[in-house]
Amino acid sequence: MRVVVQRVREARVEVDGQTVGAIGQGLVAFVGAGREDTERDAVYVADKVAGLRVFEDDAGKMSKAMADVGGSLLAVSQFTVFGDVRRGRRPDFTGAMEPVRAEQLFERFVARARELGVPVQTGRFRAMMRVVVDNDGPVTILIDSSRAF
């Protein structure tokens, strides 16, 4: 799985003009499942996101995780993180998992984050979403489980 994580002051996701998920300080995770991903990948990336130490301590060093700052997670499914532009300029998404299985892994990612005590809001799977992000820093991190095992 690939997850693009952004540290935010606040963020929200809207579907058809209605807010379906919103957080204050925390992380936004744009989550994509690859064709070969399994539950193991979902758990791995959720563990990484939940424990990611990207919030500043009193000395200005990034040493705190979401739990340390009372942060929340906004998880947004996004197959486009698997866009491949090595050939040409139009992204190829054949590396992304088919939607039924991808939704199951996205839900496993969310469930694992909640198991770890992270307050989680989500977008809506397979919906056209507007994501409003007040990026803090900016801090943006890529987590890719294919490099972990």
pLDDT at 33: 98
Residue 29 falls within a domain, yes or no?
A: yes
Task: With beta carbons less than 8 A apart as the criterion, state whether 116 and 50 touch.
Answer: yes
The domain in which residue 108 lies consists of 2-143
* DSSP 8-state code for residue 58: T
pLDDT at 148: 80
Residue 149 falls within a domain, yes or no?
A: no
Task: Kindly report the average pLDDT of the chain as a whole number.
Answer: 97
- CATH number of the CATH domain containing 110: 3.50.80.10
| Rounded-to-integer distance, Cα 77 and Cα 30, Å | 6
Could you give the residue numbers annotated as active site? 78-80
Query: pTM for the complete prediction?
Result: 0.96
pLDDT single digits (tens) 52-90: 999 999 999 999 999 999 999 999 999 999 999 999 999
> Quick one: 86 exposed, middle or buried, by C-beta within 10 A (0-12, 13-18, 19+)?
exposed
pLDDT at 76: 98
> Number of folded domains in the chain?
1
